[in-house]
Structure 1
């Protein structure tokens, strides 16, 4: 089992607005190529059921999760209910930081295949961190990865590629 942490700081997006943007999961496929689809199936108050499909290695990785939205705390917790992981759970937390905010993302996952832990988990960690960082930097605007310079550099290069392709 592996736990992945990522912190992104925005100097210009206030915490409440950042929480609203982060909560809009259905936008993510437009922001990250590897995120193929996210479907919000049902919403009951602050509880949402969603289906995710992400390109991983040579094919799709699919799961359904339940998301618990806590807007007063600017927190979303989630846990897989069915899918390709043995364990997949975590949270998003948005906190004020000056005029901006810090978004913390944490996920704990396990594919349930002990013989492939050394191969799958490092690749999944890289895909998760870079995908989440890429989405957050686009959602928040004036933002940067706070706790992982390698991910920050990789995502900055990807954003430059995207900007060049649009030009």
Structure 2
């Protein structure tokens, strides 16, 4: 995850299989943003033209266990993602390897949007998510957590998402470029606040 917000679907995963987690390569401008304490976000049109591709990263100065807890807390999700009104776990693996969540968003002047997705968990390393039902035609991606020097964790986010209603591509990308960093900063604030 205001107006034409698609971010909530992009950031909702949580809020995140067989191969080891490997982050995408960060370009120099991403490294510069992260060095200055800012989140990095890149939003591109999908080659098929029906969805957007999002790549983002932020450094969080908190233990990975705390960040993981914040990312996977369904009750906390509406506080982190703009326009998200509710998060509900519909099904869960007793061992904690996966769950299915329902997100309901409500944007001004638009009907509610329902998104149901399955998340597969590699604890404290990766969350892979994919749409299973709801209003979005496309919603898949992953979160990755990579410990850095001095106790920080670099949180990577990649997703492909399509709005449930027609939004001109350039407008959707503007909204994502504005709102994805807001969600990442909310994740960092919540994690730092809960760190010992």
TM over 0.5: yes
1:19 aligns with 2:68: yes
1:110 aligns with 2:159: no
* SS at 1:79 equivalent: strand
1:59-70 matches, within 5 Å, as: 59=110, 60-70=112-122
- Distance apart, 1:33 and its partner CA: 4.7
Per the alignment, residue 97 of structure 1 pairs with 148
TM-score calculated relative to the size of structure 1: 0.71
- Distance apart, 1:65 and its partner CA: 0.5
Per the alignment, residue 184 of structure 2 pairs with 133
Give 1 or 2: higher strand fraction.
1
* C-alpha distance in structure 1 between counterparts of 2:173 and 2:104, whole Å: 19
1:152-163 matches, within 5 Å, as: none
TM-score calculated relative to the size of structure 2: 0.61
Work out the number of aligned pairs and report it: 139
- Distance apart, 1:3 and its partner CA: 1.0
- Tell me: CA distance 1:126–1:34, structure 2 relative to 1, closer, same or farther (3 Å): farther
- Distance apart, 1:75 and its partner CA: 0.5
* C-alpha distance in structure 1 between counterparts of 2:73 and 2:79, whole Å: 11
**Which of 34, 59, 63 is equivalent to 1:9?**
59
- Distance apart, 1:31 and its partner CA: 3.7
Per the alignment, residue 147 of structure 1 pairs with none
* 2:80 and 2:183 in contact (8 A); partners too: no
- Distance apart, 1:5 and its partner CA: 1.7
* C-alpha distance in structure 2 between counterparts of 1:64 and 1:127, whole Å: 24
Give 1 or 2: higher helix fraction.
1
- Tell me: CA distance 1:104–1:56, structure 2 relative to 1, closer, same or farther (3 Å): farther
- Tell me: CA distance 1:127–1:43, structure 2 relative to 1, closer, same or farther (3 Å): farther
List gaps (5 residues or longer) in structure 1: 143-167
1:28-67 matches, within 5 Å, as: 28-44=77-93, 45=95, 46-56=97-107, 58-59=109-110, 60-67=112-119
Worse overlay, 124-133 or 38-47: 124-133
